[in-house]
A and B are shown apart, each in its own frame.
Chain A
């Protein structure tokens, strides 16, 4: 492991993993307590439409993808706030439509294209330093927003009806939360891929939320779990020459299943 750390690509990979863990730990905790995992999956997949759009028209990829994903997340948010009984259907439609749009646009774009695999799994071992700076900036913005509106996010997440009655601007906060999901997902997909983003948004916050006594502590514990999974996964990937993103997810999933099974067994033994 120590010799691996002497490589610059490995140092960058670790930095990327830590930054992605901080962003996903904070945003993921909000996603999990608000029960919008499906919605976040929808936002993340729709992003591929933005990638296709950027390549087809030759626009700069990052701003175009962020704009497209933000728009999609706000549409999903508006639908959620208005017709709560049709939400899952409409998210499913946008999810599929966004991916299909991306693939069609990339198909008819002449020349060399990004392939679907790199969108899905990313390449954490090939992160340039410039991307690390972008991610660091993102983490600072997320931290600032969540610290500033922490109490309002907390009330909104716990009890929307009560929050509205207290005059807390629930709709604005909800859309702000989805925008943060959209922007972070796009930024982090570039680095670690769509599948790893969804795994980091859900598994560490779930494990962190079981015993945490506040949303803030849940976020901190989720970041810690996430960093542990990333470092272990990267080490396994280096040792056994396995795709890094998949190996990080495998690590998290095994840990997730192990903890749940142990808990069940302890419950049975005690009963």
Chain B
């Protein structure tokens, strides 16, 4: 089957500093991939390349069988919410309707069909009752769900989430990962995160990024991945101890350095 995302020998640099080097990745339809990497590892750059917001300096990028910029509308994008404006005058429904925006749509109003789709997307995230609320009245976890509904409203084939765990409502009864796992029956999902615990949720495969990229088609971190992300550490160094414990827990006894 045609892969949903195909990266071949992709490289990218900022001001002559290499950020991504010779990255290869192939995501099959139906996959639920976690892309993990520490801060500054290039995972955000990788995501922007897939979204067509940045162009790779070399290599080939194919998303949904086309050039990223041409298929951007078929990708459901859930951006990181660090610059979210809680005082913005907008209702939940209007936020979801933004997911239908594109360059050639002008005008003031949305039609009945758009509103029906927004209602359906809100129902998917169990937020149908809150459509008329102002966005700032919602809790962090609820906002996260609205932003996911916004990504789903256009009926995407690929869902891309940037650091989604940062805003999960601790008291919520809505299980975010359960929800993504259900959604994964119809949509290919890629989650980008710095949090390696995401591997223990229902993801199907893992990629680790730190300038280079290692891929595992099973949801397990290999010792090479841990070394790629955190470097080599001595047993006596605190990071070394932690890494040792971690790889034991993951079932990979680490070799003595």
Residues of A at the B interface (CB closer than 8 Å) are: 33, 147-152, 154-155, 157-159, 161-169, 209-218
Select one of B89, B102, B107 contacting A166, CB under 8 A: B102
Q: Which of A158, A163, A218 contacts B95 (CB under 8 A)?
A: A158
- Which residues of chain A are near B69, meaning CB under 8 Å? 167
- Tally of A-B Cβ pairs under 8 angstroms: 86
Contacts known (A159-B79, A169-B103); A215 close to B89, Cβ less than 8 A: yes
Q: Interface of chain A, helix or strand or loop or mixed? A: helix
Q: How far is the CB of A150 from chain B (nearest CB, A)?
A: 5
Mask of B150-187 contacts with A, CB within 8 angstroms, 1/0: 10000000000000000000000000000000000000
Centre residue among A161, A166, A168, A215 by max chain B CB count within 10 A: A166
Contact (Cβ within 8 A) A162 B88? no
- Which of A161, A169, A209 neighbours the largest number of chain B CB atoms within 10 Å of its CB? A161
Q: Give CA–CA (A155, B72) in the complex, Å.
A: 16
Assess whether A161 is in contact with B79, with CB atoms less than 8 Å apart: yes
Residues of B101-127 whose CB lies within 8 A of A:
101-103, 105-108, 110
**A155 interface neighbour in B77, B98, B107, Cβ under 8 Å:** B98
Given contacts A165-B51, A165-B72, A166-B72, contact A209 B103 (CB under 8 A): no
Chain B's closest residue to A209 (CB) is B89
Cα distance, A158 to B91, chains bound together (Å)? 12
Q: How far is the CA of A148 from the CA of B109 in the complex (A)?
A: 10
- The one of A157, A165, A210, A216 in contact with B79, judged by C-beta atoms closer than 8 angstroms, is A165
Contact call A152/B88, Cβ cutoff below 8 A? no
B residues near A217, Cβ cutoff 8 Å: 89
Within B52-88, which residues are at the interface with A (CB < 8 Å)?
52-53, 69, 72-73, 75, 77, 79, 84-85, 87-88
What would 23 A/B residue contacts be, using CB atoms closer than 8 Å?
A33-B89, A150-B108, A151-B105, A152-B101, A155-B98, A157-B88, A158-B88, A158-B95, A159-B98, A164-B53, A165-B72, A165-B79, A166-B73, A166-B77, A166-B101, A166-B102, A167-B69, A167-B72, A167-B102, A168-B102, A211-B134, A213-B132, A213-B134
Please state if A152 and B90 are interface contacts (CB–CB under 8 Å). Answer: no
Q: Which residues of B contact A210 (CB under 8 A)?
A: 87
How many residues of chain B get a CB closer than 8 Å to chain A's CBs? 31
Q: B24 interface residue, CB < 8 Å from A? A: no
- Assess the B105–A154 pair: CB atoms within 8 A: no
- Name A154's contact: one of B79, B98, B103, B134 (CB within 8 Å): B98
Q: Which residues of the other chain, B, contact A213 by a CB distance below 8 angstroms?
A: 89-91, 132, 134
Q: B134 and A158: CB pair below 8 A? A: no
Q: Could you say which of A162, A211, A214 contacts B98, with CB atoms under 8 Å apart?
A: A162
For A169, the chain B residues whose CB sits under 8 A away are: 103
Q: How far apart are the CA atoms of A155 and B100 in the complex, in Å?
A: 10
Q: Which of A147, A162, A168 has the most CB of B within 10 A?
A: A162
Distance in angstroms between the alpha carbons of A215 and B103 in the assembled complex: 19
Question: Roughly how many angstroms separate A57 CA and B142 CA in the complex, as a whole number?
Answer: 60
Inter-chain contact B106/A151, CB cutoff 8 Å: yes
- Report A-chain residues with C-beta under 8 Å of the C-beta of B105: 151-152
Check if A163 sits within 8 Å of B90, measured CB to CB. Answer: no
Interface centre among A149, A151, A161, A163, by most B CB within 10 Å?
A151
Smallest CB gap from A213: residue in B: B91
Instruction: Give the shortest distance, in Å, between B122 (CB) and chain A (any CB).
Output: 16
8 Å CB contact of B90 from A147, A158, A161, A168 = A158
